[in-house]
Structure 1
Amino acid sequence: MSKITLHLFSFLSIMICVSASAQKLPAIQPNSIKPPANLKIDGKTNEWNNTFQAYNGNIDAFYSISNDDSNLYLVVKTKDETTAKKMIGAGIVLSITPEKNKFENGCSIGPAVNESATLTISNAYMEFKQYAGKKDRSKQADSSLTVVNKAVTTSMKEIIVAGVTGIDNVIPVYNEQGIRSAMLFDNSGALTWEFAVPLKYLKSAMGNKPSFFYNLIVRGMRNNAKSVTSRSTGVTAMVVNTPRSMGTSNQDQLMNTTDFWGEYKLAK
């Protein structure tokens, strides 16, 4: 069997396993759960044993919502490169509301996006992908993964908060309010976002009820198009500033905002 055929077979096997695992899960998490013991908000799924409560095709990601007596937790993992690029370059936001499809009286929280760092992260990620999965390039893969995750961590030093009384709209990742957010790539190239927020900040958005509606949105990237007119010909053209590693074949998908709604009742 040739190396090309072997690599293709391995890739197809992985994709079949991913597709099968996604098909077994509901699109919306059906039950309330407690978080794993000793949970750390670090962008890793070790404590979750890499298992999730749902897979939503709208955002092409696995996710789980959980709670204990003090906090609400969310973990989102995507193996789709387009979704990962949007999460890093445009943002992902969790909104908590007392009514479905209505953002009034709700609150929204998500990692602040540093658009200027998108190209650096994308280039580092593409270098990692060149080595990922190749046994003879494991050291290069590990090294490049460290580089890309350092770039992600460095770029996401703040959290955006809206609709929470007494908290500024922008707070640092390490804050006194106890709101935590972390995002990392794993060695398969999948991107995970972990998040935690104290329940006391959500009471108003929940309508002081034990259950609430939530919206999870992955924002589409802006193309940063600029109008340029030639002095010699007078012809005007649109120049799109999209990093080369973002590609152009999936430009529409990159610019497309996707989301879904669900309902969650706090676990006792």
Structure 2
Amino acid sequence: MKRLILLPGLLLLAGTALLAQVSPPKKLGTVQLINMRAPSPIKIDGKLNEWNGNFQAYNKNTRIFYIISNDDKNLYLAVKSTDFTTTAKIIAGGVTLALNKQDKKSEKDAYSFTFPVIENPQRLSGGFGNRIEQRNAGADSEMMKAVHERTINAAKVIKVLGVKGITDTLISIYNEHGIKAAINFDNDGITYELKVPLPLLDISVDDAKEMAYNIKLNGLQLNNPGGGPPGGGGGGGGGRNALDFQDLVSPCDFWAKYTLAKQ
């Protein structure tokens, strides 16, 4: 019964994607191929205003637009999803950025940052979730706005692994380490920003070396992962206005390389 309730809630949480699906520009590659200086100043609020839509890649495996960049003090990751299931996937399991300074495509000995970490994300839709099937694309914009605000307010935790000096696996977005993260919503889907201070990674622009990074969408983690999707279907083929349940519960990722950009 619990799994039957899941999808209506996540449908509403990802609801902006019901209104618009943006096709990726053909000129963008699958991974970012250059290093970039970050714009200044940057406010980590998830709105991506500073980036002006200047995404450097559209990764087909994860279906996200993204840009990774740096200044002299921080490393930044900006992500945007315009895909319906992918938006729900980010809400349900967060985005993980893993960095391996040894230039190895391995999460072992890597620094790892996951955001957002939201407990029971399907509950954020409250009593609205069971109405989504009747409303579908005509869902009330004020109702959707309220659910999105509730989601943003619930996104207060970052999972951190492999960083010396940070002993707590889960930290607040209001932490003393200088790690910042935020999500937001626009008419196309969900937007995401992460900032990590370079000293935490023990790297600097003065001694920049190529490092491997991994971006992963963790998806919805079920207490009982066995069996098929709600309703007994086989999953797959979610389409414009429906979730692909099999995709939602399946992590996806990609590896690429980055060297800090100097002024």
**Fold match (TM-score > 0.5):** yes
Partner of 1:151: 150
- Return the alpha-carbon distance in structure 2 between the equivalents of residues 239 and 40 of structure 1: 42
Partner of 1:254: 248
Q: How many residues align?
A: 230
Q: Tell me: CA distance 1:225–1:29, structure 2 relative to 1, closer, same or farther (3 Å).
A: same
Partner of 1:94: 97
Partner of 2:178: 178
Q: 1:206-217 residue pairs with structure 2 within 5 A?
A: 209-217=208-216
Q: What is the deviation of 1:151? A: 1.4
- Return the alpha-carbon distance in structure 2 between the equivalents of residues 145 and 68 of structure 1: 36
Partner of 1:203: 202
The answer as to 2:42 corresponding to 1:48 is: no
The answer as to 2:81 corresponding to 1:78 is: yes
The sequence identity of aligned pairs, in percent, is 36
- Determine if contact 2:84/2:242 at 8 Å carries over to the other structure: no
Q: What is the deviation of 1:100? A: 2.6
Letter in 1 for 2:180: R
SS in 1 for 2:158: strand
TM-score, structure 1 as length reference: 0.75
- Return the alpha-carbon distance in structure 2 between the equivalents of residues 101 and 82 of structure 1: 27
Letter in 2 for 1:213: A
- Determine if contact 2:85/2:243 at 8 Å carries over to the other structure: no
Q: Over alpha carbons, which structure has the higher Rg?
A: 1
- Return the alpha-carbon distance in structure 2 between the equivalents of residues 249 and 159 of structure 1: 26
- Determine if contact 2:91/2:121 at 8 Å carries over to the other structure: no
Q: What is the deviation of 1:78? A: 0.6
SS in 1 for 2:89: helix
Q: Tell me: CA distance 1:47–1:220, structure 2 relative to 1, closer, same or farther (3 Å).
A: same
Partner of 1:115: 119
- Return the alpha-carbon distance in structure 2 between the equivalents of residues 20 and 189 of structure 1: 12
Q: What is the deviation of 1:255? A: 1.5
Q: What is the deviation of 1:216? A: 0.3
- Return the alpha-carbon distance in structure 1 between the equivalents of residues 243 and 72 of structure 2: 46
SS in 2 for 1:69: coil
Letter in 2 for 1:266: L
CA RMSD, 1 decimal: 3.2
Q: Which runs of 5+ in 2 are unaligned?
A: 1-16, 232-237
Partner of 2:258: 264
Q: Tell me: CA distance 1:26–1:239, structure 2 relative to 1, closer, same or farther (3 Å).
A: closer
- Determine if contact 1:203/1:209 at 8 Å carries over to the other structure: no
Q: Which has the higher contact order (CA 8 A, sep 6+)?
A: 2
TM-score, structure 2 as length reference: 0.76
